Amino acid sequence: MGEPNLELLRFLINEFGVQTFVETGSGHGATALKAIEIFPVVHTVELSKELYAETKSKLRGRAFCHHGKSVDVLDEILPGIDGPAAYWLDAHWSGGPTAGVDEQCPLLGELDAINRRKGNRDFLLIDDAHVFFSPAALKPPHILDHWPGLMGIFARLDQKPRYTVILASWRCAKHGHPGGIVMPEDVIVSVPAHAAESLRDWLTGLELEH
């Protein structure tokens, strides 16, 4: 359960007018708490009753909190969302208070739900990229068959014209360090084809500027 890079989210807001943030897998609410500071509309979905209650309490009505299976909730809420949305897809079982041990990673179903939206304007960020291209990352009691492989994910993403990259790390100035520091990332980013050049330029600018 990581968190999205806020610089990337701000770029999507400023460059493409994204106003809605949709998170699957609320966890302890850390991502939603940050998202409400920069997005006018935030939806967060959690299957665990315990984590749902915790997140709802923390957000205090400042976001739409949904309890249930992420695919079902997406099918319910996406038709009512106007304009492009940014998604943080992080709904998976990971032990502890998380739910879904019998269906450990619903990612492909989530992508199907997003693909059912008309048009192709959404921006997708998928957390824990390493799990999908390295099965060795999954240890029992995780069930390997419950988790899609990278090619299966790409096949879903390719159902609409998109540009997809895997961010492993990038260089970004922090704390006044003149040369910048390497920021670890573990995210699959997939944007509409019309946004590909802008995203590439932005990512390249992070490297060249610092």
Average pLDDT over residues 132-144: 86
Predicted pLDDT at 175: 44
Sheet holding 162-172, edge to edge: 64-67, 41-46, 20-24, 85-89, 123-127, 181-192, 162-172
Domain that holds residue 129: 6-209
Predicted pLDDT at 37: 97
What count of other Cβ atoms lies within 10 Å of the Cβ of residue 84? 20
Percentage above 70 pLDDT, the chain: 90
Condensed to tens digits (0 to 9), the pLDDT of residues 10-29 reads: 999 999 999 999 999 999 99
CATH number at residue 176: 3.40.50.150
In a domain, 1, yes or no: no
Condensed to tens digits (0 to 9), the pLDDT of residues 89-115 reads: 999 998 899 999 899 999 999 999 999
Q: Is residue 124 pLDDT above 50, yes or no?
A: yes
In a domain, 112, yes or no: yes
Q: Half-sphere exposure (CA, 13 Å, Cβ side) for 177?
A: 11
Where does the pLDDT of residue 210 fall: very low under 50, low under 70, confident under 90, or very high at 90 and above?
Answer: very low
Distances from the Cα of 14 to the Cαs of 7, 11, 105, 152, in angstroms? 10, 5, 31, 31
In a domain, 152, yes or no: yes
**196-209 vs 6-16: helix crossing angle, rounded to 10:** 130
Q: How many domains does the chain have?
A: 1
Residue of 78 and 208 predicted with greater confidence: 78
Condensed to tens digits (0 to 9), the pLDDT of residues 142-200 reads: 999 999 999 999 999 999 999 999 988 765 555 445 555 565 689 999 999 999 999 99
